[in-house]
Structure 1
């Protein structure tokens, strides 16, 4: 159905005259007549009757009028949903408790007028595909795992190097330490059931293990962070790694300890990915915000994998 013909029908119905509708639409009266005639042919009914005072809708015209108005409203909503700057900025943060989610919350506090759609995609491959297809505008990721270079149309920038901490229960051998070196962790069991083969974080921990002789176990099902915390609290032989900016809440009786790791401090590199041709103005605002909040990268006394893009 021709939306311009529908728009013309509504204009005539509201004006009560073909001539007045033509003036309102900035077209000729002949064009109005042609559009109405074409719409009547499409619908198979007469929409107006001529009167001495102008034109009035027929019974069929009266029945069609509210639906015509809804068609025009629907079309406007459809256009607004994709009009640059009028739809929400869609951003993938991987999970709701991690550092990326915190970065986006900070952006929202600084720019509350910008609408956001927050998504959580598991791995980098679907995230990159979603960026390239336009399904999302940006994604927070560690860039880039060995053998998985970013496509040329995807841009990235480092926004946060997040220090790792050791999380232990109250009876762990290192629970009382103010800090722990990577060398001191050798021989201790570090349990991380969320380390899944093929993910970027697994590539990160594989390099960490290889370089410092650590023992990371990924055995057993991953029941989520709450179950992980329960197990760490109850098992003196186990500890786990946790990002410094990861937000977790546990029962007071758990007595969990978050201990800084040093000499060197392993940092997890968070980057923002986006399509180079994405015109959404809020994306530029997000990038500018992150540029003002990002600290320096590759600081002395820190470690990160060699494959991380250093920008």
Structure 2
């Protein structure tokens, strides 16, 4: 047999074996009997083997035909599985929401947002890439397959559309045994600028926000620059140096007494969290549904109120 076999002809041959009649097999597959006869004759010619024995009582298989039917059943099963998988992949692609998010948003806010999205849109499948804010912007501007991104830096690069989705505050934290943990007065901004801190890596929205806030004070170089919130927290808890992180990122450690928040005067460390996408590209489908969920959840104002409640101990 030259080339690939005709799957429909193989399916017809299998039906003949199952039903014992070419006419019944043709009807089962929605073919006319003349068309079915031509298909099987062509299959035999291509195979170079007699596959059927035709008698007045019906059609039977030759020995070679039984072997070919056995092979055909396995091939057709694989072909059907391939087609089903292709259909599933196509449907998943159509329903998939591809998100890139900065670390704080991914850890603190997206789980709740995606849970609510799942309640409203149960068929949506989400793929999440967690990187820093600069990398989120780079992926979107490079045309990577990201539907919507979330960043936490003080600004958004040109070429990206944006929408505020929340507000956040950076705070200074130290280990309980650090001298600052026992301070009775807030830190001065100048004291913070003169201290070597544990900070996030370059490109992080947390790092960018801190550097912008301290820029007028000519801060000293960082003690450590680490690539994740967890690493920065670990260094601070070990007593390496004070750290500056999102309040969201350290809520559990503050509650457990593993870290202590140190207030700072004359320094604004508030920032806006934003959804971003390539400018000129209209958000559709699941990305639009996600932003609607965030808006219904209260959007920036509710996140801001939650932050105030965490600081004062009030429930909102």
Q: Judging changes above 3 Å, is the alpha-carbon distance between structure 1 residues 253 and 164 closer, same or farther for their aligned structure 2 residues?
A: closer
Name the counterpart of 1:118: 128
Q: Judging changes above 3 Å, is the alpha-carbon distance between structure 1 residues 39 and 242 closer, same or farther for their aligned structure 2 residues?
A: farther
Name the counterpart of 2:310: none
1:298-309 matches, cutoff 5 A? none
Q: Please give the alpha-carbon distance, in whole angstroms, between the structure 2 residues aligned to 1:265 and 1:38.
A: 81
1:195 aligns with 2:201: yes
Cα distance, 1:270 vs. partner? 2.2
1:241 to 236, 240, 244: 244
Q: Please give the alpha-carbon distance, in whole angstroms, between the structure 2 residues aligned to 1:28 and 1:242.
A: 73
Cα distance, 1:116 vs. partner? 2.6
Q: Please give the alpha-carbon distance, in whole angstroms, between the structure 2 residues aligned to 1:21 and 1:277.
A: 51
Name the counterpart of 1:73: 81
Post-superposition CA distance 1:138-167 (Å, at most 9, x none): 322246857x3125xxx4322121111111
Q: Please give the alpha-carbon distance, in whole angstroms, between the structure 2 residues aligned to 1:260 and 1:29.
A: 87
Relative to structure 2, which stretch is displaced further, 63-72 or 253-262?
253-262
Task: Work out whether residues 194 and 222 of structure 1, in 8 Å CA contact, stay in contact via their aligned partners in 2.
Answer: yes
Cα distance, 1:121 vs. partner? 3.3
TM-score by length of 2: 0.67
1:128 to 132, 140, 158: 140
Q: Please give the alpha-carbon distance, in whole angstroms, between the structure 2 residues aligned to 1:182 and 1:45.
A: 92
Relative to structure 2, which stretch is displaced further, 55-64 or 245-254?
245-254
Q: Please give the alpha-carbon distance, in whole angstroms, between the structure 2 residues aligned to 1:165 and 1:129.
A: 31
3-state SS, counterpart of residue 249 of structure 2? coil
Name the counterpart of 1:217: 221
Query: Unaligned stretches of 5+ in structure 1?
Result: 300-311
Post-superposition CA distance 1:19-68 (Å, at most 9, x none): 556555556556666666777788x4669525443575531231131232
Cα distance, 1:287 vs. partner? 1.7
Please provide the CA RMSD for this pair. 4.4
Relative to structure 2, which stretch is displaced further, 116-125 or 29-38?
29-38
Post-superposition CA distance 1:78-103 (Å, at most 9, x none): 232132666543322344xx233332
Name the counterpart of 2:11: 10
Name the counterpart of 2:147: 137
Task: Work out whether residues 187 and 264 of structure 2, in 8 Å CA contact, stay in contact via their aligned partners in 1.
Answer: yes
Q: Judging changes above 3 Å, is the alpha-carbon distance between structure 1 residues 193 and 102 closer, same or farther for their aligned structure 2 residues?
A: closer
Q: Please give the alpha-carbon distance, in whole angstroms, between the structure 1 residues aligned to 2:185 and 2:11.
A: 73
Q: Which has the higher helix share?
A: 2
Q: Please give the alpha-carbon distance, in whole angstroms, between the structure 1 residues aligned to 2:86 and 2:245.
A: 43
Q: Please give the alpha-carbon distance, in whole angstroms, between the structure 1 residues aligned to 2:37 and 2:58.
A: 16
2:101 to 90, 93, 98: 93
1:105 aligns with 2:111: yes
Q: Please give the alpha-carbon distance, in whole angstroms, between the structure 1 residues aligned to 2:109 and 2:136.
A: 18
Name the counterpart of 1:303: none
3-state SS, counterpart of residue 242 of structure 2? strand
Cα distance, 1:223 vs. partner? 7.2
Q: Judging changes above 3 Å, is the alpha-carbon distance between structure 1 residues 117 and 72 closer, same or farther for their aligned structure 2 residues?
A: same
Task: Work out whether residues 101 and 149 of structure 2, in 8 Å CA contact, stay in contact via their aligned partners in 1.
Answer: yes
Name the counterpart of 2:314: none
1:15-94 matches, cutoff 5 A? 16=19, 26=30, 44=47, 48-49=51-52, 51=54, 52-54=57-59, 58-83=66-91, 88-94=96-102
